[in-house]
Amino acid sequence: MREIILDTETTGLDPVRGDRIVEIGCVEVFNLIPTGQVFHCYLDPQRDMPEEAFRVHGLSREFLTGKPTFDQIVDDFLSFIGDDRLVIHNAEFDMKFINHELKMIKRQPILMDRVLDTLALARKKHPGSSNSLDALCARYKIDNSRRTKHGALLDGEILAEVYAELCGGRQTALSLQAAEKVVVQEIKTQVGARPQALLTKLSEDEMALHSKLVEKMGTKAIWSYYIKEDH
């Protein structure tokens, strides 16, 4: 299953009072394993950077000036996350900023029913304990020594490891991935390829429409194995 680990950095705590997003980091995971595909950008908030926020993430007004604004990256951002589940630590905070930015440019909000909050998950699994990202890294022996300051992409990469542990551990994720490979291989073996291809009854227009449909399935679709074999 494809999921997107998401984190943001901001100028403060309340978008209604004028705080803005200054960094977005997204990490794609498939069956809890990072695929290496990420979305990352710094954003020009078009306002000052409060000292308390700067101390958290180290992003200065000077550094952010000239970076793209949210409306300039929104299409790439929405395309990357698609319709898949968003996994966020303290999701209410990040989502109120994301949806406020979307509202400002008259885009539809992202509904919370597609969001999984790892803070809530951690509190349920470890009641009465500290469940900050740093505390969870210590609990699960995840190296977060690079995290001298908050950073959206770095925190997303660390959260991907924490999330795997919250779901039962990285070994479980590897087992799921291995099982998927076995299923795909069994299907390929059972279906196989014909010694001689059947003559198609499809028109060129129908073939073109079919190719577009297969392309939309993505590279993980089982159909792509047979497309490669046919060519």
Residues 118-164: pLDDT tens digits? 999 999 999 999 999 999 999 999 999 888 788 999 999 999 999 99
Among 118, 152, 169, which residue terminates a domain?
A: 169
Cα 177 to its chain centre, rounded Å, is 18
pLDDT of residue 215: 77
145 in the same domain as 115: yes
The set of catalytic residues is: 150
SS3 168: coil
Range of the domain at 201: 173-230
pLDDT of residue 214: 74
225 in the same domain as 116: no
163 in the same domain as 70: yes
**Residue 230: pLDDT band with limits 50, 70, 90:** very low
pLDDT > 50? residue 177: yes
Mean pLDDT of the residues in the chain: 87
pTM for the model stands at 0.74
Rounded distance between C-alpha atoms, residue 210 and residue 203, angstroms:
11
**Range scoring the smallest mean pLDDT among 46-55, 74-83, 170-179:** 170-179
Q: What percent of the chain has pLDDT over 90?
A: 70
95 in the same domain as 33: yes
For the segment 91-98, the average pLDDT, to the nearest whole number, is 98
112 in the same domain as 14: yes
182 in the same domain as 142: no
For the segment 194-199, the average pLDDT, to the nearest whole number, is 59
141 in the same domain as 107: yes
Among 169, 190, 215, which residue terminates a domain?
A: 169
pLDDT of residue 165: 97
Walk across the sheet containing 33-42 and list its strands. 33-42, 21-30, 2-10, 85-88, 115-117
Among 118, 146, 169, which residue terminates a domain?
A: 169
For the segment 160-176, the average pLDDT, to the nearest whole number, is 78
Buried b (16+ CB within 10 A) or exposed e, 72-104: ebbeebeebbeeebbbbbebeebbbbbbbbbee
pLDDT of residue 97: 98
- Of 2, 4, 14, 1, nearest to 118 by C-alpha is 4
pLDDT > 60? residue 69: yes
**Residue 43 · residue 69 · CB < 8 Å:** yes
pLDDT of residue 231: 45
pLDDT > 80? residue 114: yes
pLDDT > 70? residue 178: no
Instruction: Give the total number of structural domains in the chain.
Output: 2
Rounded distance between C-alpha atoms, residue 73 and residue 81, angstroms:
13
